[in-house]
């Protein structure tokens, strides 16, 4: 195992320290307990958005802290949920009095720990809502989750709900927008090679040279099945079919198409996947109105990709286009 680290036990803390130095104009980093928060938080008159999860998925979630997206992000250890004693102070420091929306991926540890923190915040008089993201069509249940996993669709929920909060919507409306995105987004991923968790020192799963894992999770947990390695178009076809089928896409729909890298796949290859995914949608008469391609929710250095399709309406498209200024996502004024 070769990694640019000093000590496996200090990976998260040292990464957060570097993150703050690099982005001190946008964020503040609190250590022990660890959380990342907007430099201007709390933002008066605005609903706060707090998310989080295990480290190793960068830029999710800390990279999305800033104007038009998250107020705070709470990173756990690598592939491990943050604890309630991390989450609670992030909630308290984020709240301006307009309430807090928690955006939580559907993994058992995340659900339990954010739920506990929400209860404690409620005792302190903070108005709390929670949206659980569960966009992964690959499996219904796994070791890590009860029900569908939250994967790349989380980025879209955070951006669009963040746009609603930034324009001044109240907590009920911001929550409704987040829930609408979650109801209309589906994802599925593939792994070509595993990743290595720093403190484990060995790959999190094994694949033969001629095998790929269809429907892999963002921690390397298994998906639908292992199949022989094939070309990019065939792999993309196998990802898109269950996504579009589950979403019930029709020729009248307008969508956002998101091709995400797992951390170890060149951008050139992601565009090959995007090319075929866009062809499939065009063949069905579906209009691709918005696009995103790149490494936005990763699994350390895992080789692979995921495809995400979000059915858009006019409001969701407008909120997607609204200005955002975070370390990892920036556009608009």
d(CA 110, CA 112): 6
- Of 194, 231, 210, nearest to 79 by C-alpha is 194
58/178 Cα distance (integer angstroms): 21
Specify the DSSP class assigned to residue 63.
Answer: G
Q: How far apart are CA 42 and CA 97, in angstroms?
A: 9
* H or E stretch covering 18: helix 11-22
| CA angle, 311 then 217 then 149, to 5° | 55
Give the CA-trace dihedral at 294, 296, 301, 303, to 10 degrees.
-50
H or E element, residue 17: helix 11-22
- What are the angstrom distances between the C-alpha of 141 and each of 63, 213, 318? 28, 16, 34
User: Structure tokens of 272?
Assistant: 């090959």
What is the rounded distance in angstroms from the CA atom of residue 242 to the CA atom of residue 213?
Answer: 15
Give the residue numbers marked as catalytic. 57, 219
Question: For residues 47 and 99, what is the distance between their CA atoms, to the nearest angstrom?
Answer: 5
Q: Assess contact for 156 and 166: CB atoms under 8 A.
A: no
Of residues 289, 292, 276, 296, the one with CA closest to residue 316: 289
């Amino acid at each position: 195992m070769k990694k640019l680290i000093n000590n496996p036990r200090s990976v998260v803390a040292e990464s957060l320290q570097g993150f703050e130095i690099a982005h001190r104009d946008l964020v503040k980093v609190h250590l022990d307990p660890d959380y990342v928060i907007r430099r201007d938080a709390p933002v008066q008159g605005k609903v706060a958005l707090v998310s989080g999860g295990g480290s190793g998925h960068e830029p999710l979630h800390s990279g999305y802290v800033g104007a038009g997206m998250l107020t705070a992000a709470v990173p756990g250890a690598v592939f491990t949920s943050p604890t309630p004693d991390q989450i609670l102070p992030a909630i308290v420091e984020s709240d301006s009095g307009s309430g807090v929306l928690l955006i939580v991926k559907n993994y058992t540890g995340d659900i339990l720990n954010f739920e506990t923190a929400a209860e404690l915040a409620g005792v302190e008089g903070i108005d709390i809502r929670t949206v659980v993201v569960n966009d992964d069509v690959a499996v219904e249940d796994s070791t890590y989750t009860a029900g569908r996993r939250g994967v790349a669709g989380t980025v879209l929920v955070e951006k669009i709900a963040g746009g609603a909060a930034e324009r001044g919507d109240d907590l009920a409306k911001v929550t409704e927008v987040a829930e609408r995105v979650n109801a209309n987004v589906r994802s599925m991923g593939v792994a070509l090679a595993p990743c290595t968790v720093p403190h484990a020192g060995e790959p999190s799963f094994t694949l033969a040279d001629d095998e790929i894992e269809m429907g892999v999770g963002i921690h390397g947990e298994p998906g639908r099945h292992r199949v022989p390695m094939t070309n990019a178009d065939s792999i993309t076809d196998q990802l898109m079919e269950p996504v579009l089928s589950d979403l019930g896409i029709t020729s009248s729909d307008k969508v956002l198409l998101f091709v995400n890298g797992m951390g170890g796949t060149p951008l050139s290859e992601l565009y090959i996947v995007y090319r075929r995914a866009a062809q499939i949608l065009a063949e069905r008469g579906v209009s691709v109105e918005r696009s995103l391609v790149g490494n936005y929710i990763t699994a350390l250095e895992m080789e692979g990709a995921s495809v995400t399709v979000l059915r858009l309406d006019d409001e969701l498209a407008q909120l997607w286009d609204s200005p955002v200024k975070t370390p990892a996502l920036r556009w608009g004024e």
